[in-house]
Amino acid sequence: MKNPDVVLIGFGWTGAIMAERLTAAGLNVLAIERGGWRDTPNNFATTFDQDELRYMWRHRLFENVAHDTLTFRNNTSQVALPMRRLGSFLPGTGVGGAGVHWNGQVWRFLPSDFKALSHNRERYGQAAIGDMTIADYPVSYDDLEKHYDTFEYLCGVSGKAGNLNGAIQPGGNPFEGPRSREYPNPPLDMTYGPMLFAKAAQEAGYHPFVHPAANMSRAYTNPLGVQMGECTYCGFCEKFGCGNYSKASPQATILPVLMRRPNFKLITHCEVTRIELDSTRKRATGVTYVDDKGKERFQPAELVMLTAYILHNVRLLLLSGIGAPYDPQSGTGVIGKNYAYQITSSVNVFYDDKITNPFIGAGALGMIIDDFNGDNFDHSGLGFIGGGYIGVVNTGARPIETHPVPKGVPAWGAEWKKAVARNYLRMVSIATHGAVMSHRGNYLDLDPTYKDAFGRPLLRMTFDYTDNEHRMSDYLTDRATDVAKRMGARDVSPKKRTGAYSIVPYQTTHNTGGAMMGDDPRTSAVNRYLQSWDVSNLFVTGSAVYPQNAGYNPTGTLAALAYWSADAVVNRYLKAPGPLI
């Protein structure tokens, strides 16, 4: 494509959404992806997809840390070291990005999550905020409602509405914001473990509901005409592609239509190294990338969109000198600011008399309570703000990764093996999935020492949980333990998240922030339409724009924001290119 109107940097969920919307509006769109082409029959076929060694252990679908990685430290007193094997989070590479190997857990944030600062300050006073750097989103739940809906129908989400236009629905999440219509597909069939949890939670006075899932409960044709098949509950979603067309991904929902459009072009194995600016530094002229032969090339564009994973979006802004880098000492600057994450814990429940068959799974097959998420409960006197959901999600208990044993069992040897054999089919794992607020000392910048394969500085992450997160997560773990004790089990083993954040064990690929959205160019990187304050023909998508994280998986909200931004580009920006605010 000689002169595309739009260049997309990275081709995962938000890249595919942007490309679909903008090509539908008649623009010529070129997507540049550092990894390779991937599609269902060639890359995720059912004949080899359920291979835990290849995908979970050998990281076949994730980014290659020998080519590019990040460095990490808990605080500025430490020296950051490079991650030589991915751990806590698993960014993707290749067409579809991490949208290929996610679980399909599709959530909307609570209306109050969008007002984390003003809402909490109003209810609990400034003292509850302390020195957190949290902020309100410059968009509301109501702004995004129709875009959440668009994404849920694109993905064919299976679920049960809890709030339809303000009317609370039995069986759904009573705490959710009002939705304009029911989910496109009914809930998945539920397995035993989640049902045992839901029953106990109900008896405890909580409000269990079925996890919304981008795993198909029945065959589905989405509004683009793309077809998906019924989920087989094989239990290989997270860290795997889907060979049954049953888990929403860019491949399973958008690409069959997008790839047919003559005004769309995708180039793979090409990595953007820099966004180029004109002499005013207020306008992007295009991007520089390294092609599959290692040759550096310049691609001009009228409009540039950063649609890569959050860590790469923030790094490319820093490498391109767009926006002032954040300085934790002075608290000034915006790029890299308000990096946040998620905090998780678990409570394992072991039975003697019940067979729970945890291997029957799907990425989002589970029962949840939202009674302790966001501000759905009174935080007075608890010493923290924020919350998270608690629930049992049977993602598949794949055997290399999953062998929980009760507390007190040796970590290896004959006793351990005996305990695994005894417990594998008789366990239920309750998870808590909590928010992380933004703090002055948690941020992203460029590493002064370590460089990638092209000689560019690596991204440096400085992050730790604060007292707020630990108190909140401990509180959620205690509530989960209360429910667990009602489940009639032989053993209940809570596992709190203690000590400093460790980047080694896998937790969630829910990194957020670093290019936050806001109303003020002095304190945010992009405006409410995801347009760079500094370079008006540059837009940044993904969870990088979150001012802080909420207690939910981020994909639903970042997809809704991509549709919201695409609307602003098509309906406003194209008519009068320039700053939208």
Partner 1 sequence: MKRWLLLGLLVCSGAQAADDLVARGKYLTILGDCAACHTRKDGPELAGGVPLDSGFGTIYSRNITPDVQTGIGGWTADQFYRAMHSGRSADGSHLYPAFPYPYFTHMTRADDDAIFAYLKTVPAVSYKPPPNKLPFPLNIRGLMSIWNALYFTQGEYKPDPARSAAWNRGAYLVTGLGHCGGCHTPKDWLMGDENDRALSGGVVEHWFAADLTGNTRGGLASWSANDTIEYLKTGRNARATASGPMGEVAELSTSQTSDADLAAIAEYIKSLAPSAQKQPSAPDPAAMHSGEAIFVDACASCHLAGGKGQPYLFPPLAGNASVQGSDPTTIVRLVLDGSRSPSTAARPTPNAMPAFGWKLDDRQVADVVTYVRNSWGNAGEPVEAGAVAKLRKR
Q: Active-site positions? A: 510
Q: Decide: is 45 part of the binding site for partner 1 (CB under 8 A).
A: yes
Q: Count of residues binding partner 1 (CB under 8 A)? A: 22
As beta bridge partners, residue 44 has: none
Task: Provide the 8-state DSSP code for 113.
Answer: G
4, 91, 243, 363: which one binds partner 1 (CB under 8 A): 243
Please tell me whether residue 24 binds partner 1 under the rule CB under 8 A.
Answer: no
Nearer to partner 1, 60 or 495 (CB): 60
| Selected binder of partner 1 within 1, 168, 195, 257 (CB under 8 A) | 257
According to DSSP, the β-strands at 163-164 and 209-210 are: unpaired
Euclidean distance between CA atoms 442 and 76, whole angstroms: 9
For Cα atoms 458, 461, 465, give the angle at the middle one, nearest 5 degrees. Answer: 170
Q: Which of 110, 117, 157, 234 binds partner 1 (CB under 8 A)?
A: 234
Counting contacts by CB under 8 A, is residue 256 touching partner 1? Answer: yes
| C-beta neighbour count of 385 within 10 angstroms | 25
Identify whether the C-beta of residue 271 lies closer than 8 Å to the C-beta of residue 315.
no
Q: Distance (Å, rounded) from C-alpha 563 to C-alpha 149?
A: 10
Which residues have a Cβ under 8 Å from the Cβ of 109 and sit 6 or more positions away?
A: 141, 374, 550, 552, 556, 557
Nearer to partner 1, 221 or 380 (CB): 221
> Is residue 224 at the binding interface for partner 1, with CB under 8 A as the rule?
yes
Applying CB under 8 A, which of residues 25, 46, 273, 401 lies at the interface with partner 1? 46
CB nearer to partner 1: give 256 or 457: 256
Which residues in 76-109 are b (16+ Cβ under 10 Å) and which e?
A: eeeebebbeebebbbbbbbbbbbbbbbbbbbbbb
The answer to whether residue 226 forms part of the interface with partner 1 (CB under 8 A) is yes
Q: Which stretch binds partner 1 (CB under 8 A): 44-52, 378-386, 387-395, 519-527?
A: 44-52
User: 338 with 514: CB under 8 angstroms?
Assistant: yes
Q: Is 53 in the site for partner 1 (CB under 8 A)?
A: no
Tokens matching residue 473 = 């997560």
**Residues 318-357 interacting with partner 1 (rule: CB under 8 A):** none
**Residue with Cβ nearer partner 1 (47 or 126):** 47
Among 14, 23, 40, 71, binds partner 1 (CB under 8 A): 40
List C-alpha distances in Å: 356 to 195, 407, 417.
10, 19, 19
Report the distance separating Cα 303 and Cα 8, nearest Å.
9
Residue among 79, 219, 500, 504 that touches partner 1 (CB under 8 A)? 219
| Residue (of 321, 304, 314) closest to 531 by Cα position | 304
Determine, following the binding rule CB under 8 A, whether residue 186 of this chain makes contact with partner 1.
no
**Least distance in angstroms from the C-beta of 431 to partner 1:** 27
Instruction: Report the nearest approach of partner 1 to the CB of residue 41 (Å).
Output: 3
Stretch that binds partner 1, among 201-209, 242-250, 282-290, 557-565 (CB under 8 A): 242-250
Residues at the contact surface with partner 1, assessed by CB under 8 A:
40-41, 45-47, 219, 221, 224-230, 232, 234, 243-245, 256-257, 260
